[in-house]
Structure 1
Amino acid sequence: MAHRDVLDALLHDYTTRAEAIRRDLGRSHSADFAEQAQQRQNDEVLEALLAEAEQGLLLVRQAQQRLAEGRYGECLCCGEPIEAARLAALPVAEYCLRCAEDREGHSNQAARLK
């Protein structure tokens, strides 16, 4: 499957997921207090899932932009090609494996220093 098709499918999946979550969040709550409490807890989970779906949409749109500009598959850090296996596993990848590991190592190190 071509990169464009993979990204289009991901965009569709994230859009469908986000729309379904928004519908669920927009429903009215029960008049029963105990049921309302459960629904509010469910809403917190749905809000977290919506945030993940929206982040996924953002990443896909950014990948589509890179594809349109002819930069898809090019590491944003070092400019080298991102490994084909990495793009197959993570079509929205912005960094080659080496740079991604370096960035993760730096963020883990910074977190330990806090």
Structure 2
Amino acid sequence: MQKQSSSQPRQHIEKHKAILDERRHELETRLRAIEHDFEQPRNPDDDDRAAERNNDEVLEELGETGQKELLAVQAALDRIQAGTFGICVKCGKPIAERRLDAVPHTPFCQSCAQSI
């Protein structure tokens, strides 16, 4: 796999690293809040418990989605560290800056993402 090319100047890498670090922090904060909510004592009232169960299902889905995104963000940060950020993990071609701006944690160029 090739290393970062001249199409990925250091300033762009640093910009994306800052965005990814911020997103990681946001996700970690959100996941801690969800975990904290699950740890709270449940209401003994049947009607309230039913509503809490519905809320728990929503929180669980948000938690799972957040964990998946957190893994993708961390993988992107690992690619920055390895010097392979901005290079498609499937075809090895550079990922367009516009795509990285839209989805900074993407491991795929537009073409490979569409084929998956």
Please give the TM-score of this superposition, normalised by the length of structure 2.
0.86
- State yes or no: 1:11 paired with 2:30: no
Aligned residue among 33, 39, 59 for 2:52: 39
Q: Which residue of 1 aligns with 2:64?
A: 51
Alignment of 1:1-114 (within 5 A): 2-103=15-116
In the alignment, residue 92 of structure 1 is paired with which amino acid? Answer: H
Task: For 1:77 and 1:54, locate their aligned partners in 2 and report how far apart those are by CA, in whole Å.
Answer: 23
Residue ranges of structure 2 left out of the alignment (5+ in a row): 1-13
Task: For 2:40 and 2:102, locate their aligned partners in 1 and report how far apart those are by CA, in whole Å.
Answer: 36
**Which structure is higher in RCO with an 8 Å CA cutoff and minimum separation 6?**
2
Query: How far is 1:77 from its partner?
Result: 0.7
Residue ranges of structure 1 left out of the alignment (5+ in a row): 104-114
Q: How many residues align?
A: 103
Query: How far is 1:40 from its partner?
Result: 0.8
- 4+ runs of 1 displaced by more than 4 Å? none
SS of the residue corresponding to residue 88 of structure 1 reads: helix
Please give the TM-score of this superposition, normalised by the length of structure 1.
0.87
Give the structure with the higher percent helix: 1
Task: For 1:71 and 1:80, locate their aligned partners in 2 and report how far apart those are by CA, in whole Å.
Answer: 11
Task: For 2:110 and 2:96, locate their aligned partners in 1 and report how far apart those are by CA, in whole Å.
Answer: 7
